[in-house]
Amino acid sequence: MPVKYHGIIIPDEADHKLKAYLSLLQKWQSKINLISPQTLPNAWERHFIDSMQVSELLTIDDKVIFDFGSGAGFPGLVLAMLNPDKKFTMVESDQKKCSFMRTVSRETELANVNIVCERIEDVSRETKPDVIMARALASLDKLFFYSQDWIKSNPTPRFIFPKGEQYDQEVSEAQRNWLFHVEQKPSKTDALATILLISDVVPK
């Protein structure tokens, strides 16, 4: 039977995978710093459900998705468990965090995940993503800078960026260097946060 968290419906099989992911996170966190220690007691809400809500913003046409600065796998690994029909590339430069994500991917039998342990600047530009996302990685302006080669080669990618309460300042700063269309979706887990849906990005 499907389960529901904050109104987000999760298939039973995906829920089992997510719970196994949480268990691995708790185990590994004692050895390496995957997430902020202060958030570990509330990791299910703070990281998992917070990532789950992004799934509702993906469309049927979003087949190839890049997750920049994946860290412990949020939101990309969570979304891969909820969307087995989509391909996710996790980009993370920290070797230990990549090892953790590979362990999660292997033990939960994720066939739709590619973990790239490189800096964003070094990632191959051959694959063109439909969506680029990042959670708690960098400012909006810097995220566009990281993405500029893909923006040039594919003018239609969408961007999904969960942001904190200073998101409006980031939008204003990015508008100095970029033209783009932005929609704001309120977060279901943090009244002060939002999720930015961005398209039609071009440099000024």
Which pTM was predicted?
Answer: 0.95
Question: CA-to-CA distance for 140 and 132, rounded, in angstroms?
Answer: 12
Contacts of 139 (CB under 8 A, 6+ apart): 170, 173, 174
pLDDT at 142: 96
Domains annotated for the chain, with CATH where assigned, are 3-203 (3.40.50.150)
Helices first, then strands: H and E counts in the chain: 8, 9
> Which one, of 61, 59, 44, lies nearest residue 6 by Cα?
44
Task: From first to last of the 204 residues of the chain, give the pLDDT tens digit.
Answer: 889 998 889 999 999 999 999 999 999 999 999 999 999 999 999 999 999 999 999 999 999 999 999 999 999 999 999 999 999 999 999 999 999 999 999 999 999 999 999 999 999 999 999 999 999 899 999 999 999 999 988 767 899 999 988 899 999 999 999 999 999 999 998 888 999 999 999 999
Rounded to the nearest 10 degrees, the angle between the axes of helix 12-29 and helix 95-107 is: 140
